[in-house]
Amino acid sequence: MMNNILQDPSPSALKQVIEANTIESFKTWGKWAKLELQQDPEIAWTASDIPFFLFNVVLGLVPQSGITAAESLKTVVNVTSRARTRKLPMGWWVGLTNPDPGLGQLLEDQGWMPAATLTGMAMALQTLAEPASLPPGLTISTVKDGESLETWCQLMTSVSEFPDFAAEAWLDMYRGMEIVDDPLWSLYLGSFQGKPVSTSALFLGAGVAGIHGVTTLPDYRGKGIATAMTYPPLLAAREQGYRMGVLFSSEMAIDIYRKIGFQEYGEGDIYMWQPDEDA
């Protein structure tokens, strides 16, 4: 991993690795027996029998020079046809390095709906100043066993408002891919006065340190907990020699990450396709 650490933090390189880190994190899900990672020359996607879009998601068009609007349309039509045949919700990531600026409109024309816009951000880890202390009452631990993994998954999926079946599948997936023992992944659990209230995760991929899964129970927001949960993964990555931290932020959390030192490098969009209600 050390040999692959990003050494050229130019804006164009950062755009690529912000996106690549997230895509590589999805690809690790292929270690789970119930999900397949499928690869065509123009796209990669995950496929499962679980009727939740995050388990059936297109990871964007592969950046390549010379892609034509006709080629993009053909790909969208083929994937949409596959979705109709399978009768399962699907997601499609249209990211920072998307080679076709008209892809979003093509998706909407085929019945895909805009679901969320996320901001890609990055920061140089050598500029990260470790906070003097945690918010009073907060302790942060690394997930090391099955019990704490279950707590982490229940908390993250609850805050993210996953349906029960998807939350159960998420825990099953993390168990199946043995995430606790995966050197690329580290999960962090924040407890306030002994009660688990917050999550975060580190994924080392594409030569950078990716922050994922930052959630906090609504009643415990505004106390600096989400900010505090972002530091341990970044500091751990810096100790391993990583130079850049990256993430995708919701609009609600952008100011949190700006205060830590992250800067914006563009936006990505998630589109969703839903089968007919009678399916």
Residue 141 shares a structural domain with residue 259: yes
Q: How much is the pTM?
A: 0.94
Q: Are residues 105 and 144 in the same domain?
A: no
Q: CA nearest 247: which of 121, 126, 151?
A: 121
56 pLDDT higher than 90: yes
d(CA 48, CA 64): 27
Identify whether residues 98 and 138 lie together within a single domain. no
Bridge-based pairing of strands 263-273 and 138-142 is unpaired
Q: How confident is the model at residue 55 (pLDDT cuts 50, 70, 90)?
A: very high
Confidence of residue 42 (pLDDT cuts 50, 70, 90): confident
**Residues 37 and 80 occupy one common structural domain:** yes
Q: Give the burial class of 47: count Cβ atoms within 10 A of its Cβ; 0-12 exposed, 13-18 middle, 19 or more buried.
A: middle
User: For 118-135, how does the pLDDT look when each residue is reduced to its tens digit (9 = 90+)?
Assistant: 999 999 999 999 888 999
How confident is the model over 55-61, as a mean pLDDT? 92
Q: Is residue 279 part of a domain?
A: no
Answer whether residue 197 is part of any domain: yes
pLDDT of residue 1: 46
Say yes or no: 240 and 190 in one domain. yes
Whether residues 87 and 155 fall in one domain = no
Half-sphere exposure of 92 (CA within 13 A, CB side): 26
**Domain that includes residue 116, residue range:** 2-120+268-273
Whether residue 278 is contained in a domain is answered as no
Is the separation of the CB atoms in 202 and 211 below 8 Å?
Answer: yes
Beta-carbon contacts of residue 250 (< 8 Å; ≥ 6 apart): 116, 118, 119
133 and 233 belong to one structural domain: yes
Of residues 241, 183, 265, the one with CA closest to residue 5: 241
Domain count, the chain: 2
* 159 and 251 both lie in a single domain: yes
Q: Residues 137, 220: one domain?
A: yes
Report how far apart the first and last C-alpha atoms of the chain are (Å, whole number).
Answer: 44
Q: What is the CATH number of the domain that holds 128?
A: 3.40.630.30
Residue 41 and residue 159 in one domain: no
